[in-house]
Amino acid sequence: MEILAFGVQSDEKPLIEKAFEGRHEVRCLDVFLSGDTAPIATGYEAVSTSVNCALGHRVLQTLAAGGTQLVAQRSTGFNNIDLDVAERLGMTVARVSSYSPYSVAEFAWTLGLAVNRRIVRASNRTRDFDFRLEGLMGRDMHGRTAGVVGTGKIGEAFARIAHGFGMKLLGWDIAENPECVALGMTYVSKERLLAESDLVTLHVPLMPETQHLIDAEALRMMKDDVILVNSSRGGLIDSQALVAQLREGRFTGVGLDVYEAEAGLFFLDKSLETVEDDTLARLVTFPNVLVTSHQAYYTRDAVGQIVDATAANVLDYTEGRRSQNVLVPRS
């Protein structure tokens, strides 16, 4: 069987080809799956998609009409796929239920430390041979409070690093993680976590219940000098409300690896175009905000695990097996 993989990055392509070698043929495209590109999949029984591919009603109908029966998503998140429509069309949908949590946790810390110690500003200055220290003062993480919103595998990995810094740990989740409790984490209400934390990091999935979990009210609960990090899903934060708070001079720093309207922007070169998203354009102008393009997962270790799991999902499909990665089973 030949698989059509959408949204493949150049660094990712050799890993995908190696994972499928000797199993199935795979054709890699750098374009993302959308209403305009879906017809390319005509004749392919299986397609592989990335998190910024849009699989709504129209796209899924086009895929099904062209003979596609399997969607193998190369990510843990699947909020970009209309699972109800896929089920009605008799399609199988699988994802990667887990991969290296350290990739995202370490990058979340990279963002937090970078905004705390003004690394981007310092780097830009020294490129111009400006070696002044004014405006670069940060603060120790040791002895301060890290609030971890979502304490699954990634949240736990983040908490272990925070513990290594000697930080107090607060957690919020629907269930306590015994490993986090063993680190000394205290589980509290979301309101208390936001009010008491010096650093807030988000590690929960995006679903209707968590859409704009960090809204205007939640942002007002936080300390004026808090560091806010989001390396999970952009829709967790109300971006316009965040801009409003930043305009008031609040927050030591904000590190965002995701953005709620990133589809059609992230993973693409828009440097020669006019970006019409006023909220994103405003966010990147704040000197205490660092925006990266959804790269937290992007390590050789994590991507290798993702593509290996994707290849295994395709093999399970062809051999009639069902694993924990299946979101919509074969009808």
How many angstroms separate the most distant Cα atoms in the chain? 65
**If we measure between CA atoms, which residue out of 191, 211, 192, 214 comes closest to residue 202?**
214
Q: Is residue 234 within 8 Å of residue 205, measured between CB atoms?
A: no
Among residues 74, 118, 203, 294, the one annotated as catalytic is 294
Q: How many whole angstroms separate alpha carbon 307 and alpha carbon 71?
A: 14
User: Which residues are paired to 201 by β-bridges?
Assistant: 148, 229
Pairing mode, if any, of strands 326-328 and 92-94?
Answer: antiparallel
Residue 279, token pair as written in the block: 């909220």
Q: How many whole angstroms separate alpha carbon 288 and alpha carbon 200?
A: 15
Helices marked H in 144-215: 153-165, 178-182, 190-196
294 in catalytic set:
yes
Among residues 95, 118, 203, 233, the one annotated as catalytic is 233
Among residues 156, 196, 260, 262, the one annotated as catalytic is 262
212 in catalytic set:
no
C-alpha distances out from residue 187 to 1, 156, 183, 194, 268, Å: 48, 13, 12, 12, 39
C-alpha distances out from residue 169 to 64, 110, 147, 161, 182, Å: 48, 18, 6, 11, 11
262 in catalytic set:
yes
Residues 6+ apart with CB under 8 A from 179: 156
Q: Is residue 199 within 8 Å of residue 146, measured between CB atoms?
A: yes
User: What is the edge-to-edge ordering of all strands in the sheet holding 46-49?
Assistant: 25-28, 2-5, 46-49, 70-73, 92-94, 326-328
Q: Is residue 118 within 8 Å of residue 136, measured between CB atoms?
A: yes
Which residues are known to be catalytic?
A: 233, 262, 294
